[in-house]
Amino acid sequence: MRFDLPEIMPVSKRANPVALLGKSESLNWRTHLWFAAPAFATATIFDLDRVSGGALSWLGLATVGYLVTVFALILGSRILRKKHWLTPKPLLIVLLLLLAGFLRGGSIYTLGTLFGIVPTSDLAFRLAGGPVFVLATYVVFNWLIDEYLEYTGQLQRIDTQGERLSDSSSQLELEILSLQDLQKAKIREMLSPAIWELQKLLDTAKSKRDLSEAIFQLRTISERIVRPLSQSLSNSTSDKSKDDTNEILNSRKRY
């Protein structure tokens, strides 16, 4: 009975946050949803205190910037067919994030100047800060979400393997009992002819010499048949049980 348990990837072997961007499942709806918090916070809190304009105007700009960023990332992912990637391509995703950040900064600057709440001197700041902001934010959130999904996935696998180990333990106990019964049956089968001969010898014993001969035969049966057979069957059973037990212990150590 073998227990084929999946290896859990150690933390030291996990990819770095930038490399995680290149996975086919990166930049999912969770990262877009979490990106909304800093996207609206920077536009409605930091920019509102730094330049002119009311809260509703900056809320509108923040909404436009957020939608432009998310739409650019979704469209770019579909154009690049990211869901069908078999190998990670972090460089393409980094370029896509920089482009989305550039579009975000450009859209906020364009609409902001039209409404008169963003000065023309902010052009370089918007076009350079937008890509940096989007890249840094998505790297952090994508890494956190990936770690969370990996954690929940491992918990599910551990629960599944725990159930399998519990079922296998019950099966192992039944198998040990079955082997013990088989062992007793084989011993009885091997001893039956010898016991029959010994019984005849005891029934016909007429002297101490005959009785000593019967005792000698009994010891011979014990040493040549009972002890080797018992040890052989016990070793085979214990070896199998030890292998299964070691497999269970090693699996628990890996977890």
**For position 252, what pLDDT does the model report?**
46
Domains held by the chain: number? 2
Domain boundary, last residue among 161, 195, 216: 161
Let me know if residue 3 belongs to a domain: no
**For position 10, what pLDDT does the model report?**
47
Let me know if residue 167 belongs to a domain: no
pLDDT band at 33 (very low <50, low <70, confident <90, very high): very high
Do 137 and 42 lie in one domain? The reply is: yes
**For position 218, what pLDDT does the model report?**
66
DSSP labels, 95-158: HHHHHHHHHHHHHHHHHHHHHT-S-GGGHHHHHHHHHHHHHHHHHHHHHHHHHHHHHHHHHHHH
Let me know if residue 6 belongs to a domain: no
Do 177 and 157 lie in one domain? The reply is: no
For all residues of the chain together, what is the average pLDDT? 76
What are the pLDDT digits (tens) for 128-151? 989 999 999 999 999 998 888 888
**For position 223, what pLDDT does the model report?**
66
In this model, does residue 179 exceed pLDDT 50?
Answer: yes
CB 132 within 8 A of CB 100: no
CA 37 to chain centroid, in Å, comes to 29
Do 60 and 144 lie in one domain? The reply is: yes
The mean pLDDT value for 103-123 works out to 86
Between 51 and 92, name the one with better pLDDT.
92
Domain boundary, last residue among 161, 186, 210: 161
In this model, does residue 103 exceed pLDDT 90?
Answer: yes
In this model, does residue 152 exceed pLDDT 50?
Answer: yes
pLDDT band at 69 (very low <50, low <70, confident <90, very high): very high
